[in-house]
């Protein structure tokens, strides 16, 4: 275990083999995949020259998953199983895993064998190079076309919102340094999207190409509705943009209404009163007030958004270490002559 203020090795430095590795895997009804997953994972862990642990989080599975996981734990003391009381969703399961793992480096992956466990050593290598977060990039994604399109859009939006561009925010084959995991856990968010949250706290982020296999057993737990839900959570969780857009629309509508009024006035001065003039004037007044209502809603939204930011309690900054002499508070002493 590293001490709290430990700084990651610099680029190209020798890896610190005293650091420990945790592999965190959320599991929801994956009984058909678990035996193969564990067999492959065991082989991979055998090749890593560091102490490892595997934390399986059973996310309320209704099939044989939990029994299988407990069997792994009984056979191998590197395995821990966190059993959730019911199905809470992949990201909540990940958070539960984060809270219950101890490694200096934490690797996450899916249980359905779409993420090859054999890529784990490369993720760890990239962390050794001094990155806080390493994301997997499934360049050749083996999913349905609609999933690939949805995910491309999702990655664009997430990159813009988080401010850290990445090709693949949806890939769960990722690695994190301990301080990032601790911060994500400390946020204790109800609708967290772990990769985005982690990136927003990282100084150095890298992406490496990883393999992706088709799902051969079990079925995907995500449909379009659940994906849309995830995206909405993400957008509202990271920005007040939708509220801002409302205010801006309001201002634009009012502005157009004022323009219309000016045109009507000009028209009347030039050509004298017209028959439909009153109707148009009414329109412009109406639009003006519709715009104002939008603006008012947006302003109320701003305040609600601020309250939201406050109650969310995400840290505004994170101190990793304090360097220099702090045995005395000399900075506050008046120099004696
Ligand atoms: N998962 C979970 N809880 C859920 C849904 C999924 O723990 O409510 C796990 C699932 O067992 C798998 C991973 O999250 O290990 C990814 O799920 P899935 O393969 O269904 O997602 P997809 O690959 O289709 O995005
Ligand atoms: Mg999958």
| pLDDT value, residue 194 | 93
* Residue 11: band (very low, low, confident or very high) from pLDDT cuts 50, 70, 90: very low
Nearest ligand to the C-alpha of residue 84? 1
Cβ-in-10-Å burial (0-12, 13-18, 19+) of 157 comes to middle
Q: Indicate the top mutation candidate among 23, 25, 26 to test ligand 1's pocket, ranked by most ligand atoms within 8 A of CB.
A: 26
> Closest by alpha carbon to 5, among 324, 286, 279?
324
**What is the Å distance from ligand 1's center to 268 Cα?**
65
Over residues 282-305, the mean pLDDT reads: 89
What tokens does 78 get?
């590197």
Cβ-in-10-Å burial (0-12, 13-18, 19+) of 79 comes to buried
Nearest ligand to the C-alpha of residue 29? 1
| pLDDT value, residue 332 | 54
The answer to whether 187 and 313 have CB atoms below 8 angstroms apart is yes
| pLDDT value, residue 80 | 95
Strand 52-58 versus strand 105-108 pairing type: unpaired
- Could you identify the atom of ligand 1 that is nearest to the CA of residue 111? 15
Pairwise CA distance, residues 17 & 51, whole Å: 8
Nearest CA to ligand 1 atom 14: 90
Query: Which residue, chain included where needed, has tokens 């449909």?
Result: 223
pLDDT above 50 (res 9): no
Over residues 115-140, the mean pLDDT reads: 95
Q: Indicate the top mutation candidate among 24, 28, 147 to test ligand 1's pocket, ranked by most ligand atoms within 8 A of CB.
A: 28
- From 23-32, 147-156, 168-177, the region with the lowest mean pLDDT: 147-156
Query: Which residue, chain included where needed, has tokens 């150095």?
Result: 204
- From 40-44, 165-169, 223-227, 252-256, the region with the lowest mean pLDDT: 223-227
- Could you identify the atom of ligand 1 that is nearest to the CA of residue 26? 7
135 DSSP β-pair partners: 174, 207
pLDDT tens, position by position, 219-244 = 888 888 888 888 888 888 888 888 88
The answer to whether 123 and 134 have CB atoms below 8 angstroms apart is yes
| pLDDT value, residue 334 | 52
- Could you identify the atom of ligand 1 that is nearest to the CA of residue 110? 15
Cβ-in-10-Å burial (0-12, 13-18, 19+) of 44 comes to middle
- Could you identify the atom of ligand 1 that is nearest to the CA of residue 93? 7
Over residues 314-324, the mean pLDDT reads: 69
Pairwise CA distance, residues 79 & 101, whole Å: 11
**What is the Å distance from ligand 1's center to 112 Cα?**
7
Over residues 158-176, the mean pLDDT reads: 93
Over residues 292-304, the mean pLDDT reads: 88
**What is the Å distance from ligand 2's center to 220 Cα?**
6
| pLDDT value, residue 333 | 53
pLDDT above 70 (res 336): no
Q: Indicate the top mutation candidate among 221, 226, 228, 233 to test ligand 1's pocket, ranked by most ligand atoms within 8 A of CB.
A: 221
What is the CATH T-level fold of the domain 21-222+316-331, as seen in this structure? Answer: Spore Coat Polysaccharide Biosynthesis Protein SpsA; Chain A (3.90.550)
Pairwise CA distance, residues 72 & 52, whole Å: 15
Q: What is the largest CA-CA distance in the chain?
A: 94
**What is the Å distance from ligand 2's center to 102 Cα?**
25
pLDDT tens, position by position, 44-97 = 999 999 999 999 999 999 999 999 999 999 999 999 999 999 998 999 999 999
* Residue 1: band (very low, low, confident or very high) from pLDDT cuts 50, 70, 90: very low
Over residues 232-260, the mean pLDDT reads: 87
Strand 105-108 versus strand 174-177 pairing type: antiparallel
Over residues 157-172, the mean pLDDT reads: 92
Nearest CA to ligand 1 atom 16: 110
| pLDDT value, residue 138 | 93
Pairwise CA distance, residues 244 & 305, whole Å: 10
Over residues 152-161, the mean pLDDT reads: 90
pLDDT tens, position by position, 174-206 = 999 999 999 999 988 877 889 999 999 999 999
Ligand 1 lining (C-beta closer than 6 Å): 26-28, 30, 59, 87, 89-90, 93, 110-112, 114, 220-222
pLDDT above 50 (res 18): yes
**What is the Å distance from ligand 2's center to 112 Cα?**
6
Q: Indicate the top mutation candidate among 88, 107, 112 to test ligand 1's pocket, ranked by most ligand atoms within 8 A of CB.
A: 112
- Could you identify the atom of ligand 1 that is nearest to the CA of residue 28? 11
Say whether 100 sits in a helix, a strand or coil. Answer: coil
């Amino acid at each position: 275990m590293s001490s709290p203020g430990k700084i990651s090795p610099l680029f190209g430095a020798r890896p610190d083999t005293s650091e420990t590795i945790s592999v965190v895997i959320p599991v929801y009804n994956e009984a058909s995949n678990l035996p193969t997953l564990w067999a492959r994972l065991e082989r991979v862990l055998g090749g890593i020259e560091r102490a490892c642990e595997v934390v399986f989080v059973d996310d309320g599975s209704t099939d044989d998953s939990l029994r299988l996981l407990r069997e792994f734990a009984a056979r191998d003391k590197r395995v821990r199983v966190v059993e959730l009381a019911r199905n809470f969703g992949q990201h909540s399961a990940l958070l539960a895993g984060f809270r219950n793992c101890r490694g200096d480096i934490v690797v996450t992956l899916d249980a359905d064998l779409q993420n090859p466990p054999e890529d784990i050593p490369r993720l760890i290598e990239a962390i050794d190079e001094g990155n806080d977060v390493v994301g997997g990039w499934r360049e050749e994604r083996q999913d349905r076309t609609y999933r690939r399109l949805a995910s491309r859009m999702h990655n664009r939006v997430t990159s813009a919102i988080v401010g850290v561009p990445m090709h693949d925010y949806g890939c769960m084959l990722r690695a994190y340094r301990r301080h990032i995991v601790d911060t994500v856990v400390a946020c204790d968010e109800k609708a967290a999207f772990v990769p985005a949250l982690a990136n927003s706290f990282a100084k150095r982020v890298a992406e490496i190409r990883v393999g992706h296999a088709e799902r051969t057993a079990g079925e995907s737990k995500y449909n379009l509705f659940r994906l849309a839900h995830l995206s909405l959570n993400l957008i509202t969780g990271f920005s007040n943009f939708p509220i801002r857009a409302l205010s801006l629309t309001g201002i634009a509508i009012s502005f157009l209404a004022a323009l219309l009024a000016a045109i009507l006035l000009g028209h009347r001065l030039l050509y004298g009163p017209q028959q439909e003039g009153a109707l148009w004037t009414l329109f412009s007044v109406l639009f003006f007030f519709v715009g104002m209502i939008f603006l008012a809603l947006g302003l109320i939204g701003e305040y609600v958004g601020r309250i939201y930011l406050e109650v969310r309690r995400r840290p505004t900054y994170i101190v990793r270490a304090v360097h220099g002499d702090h045995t005395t508070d000399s900075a506050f002493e008046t120099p004696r002559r």
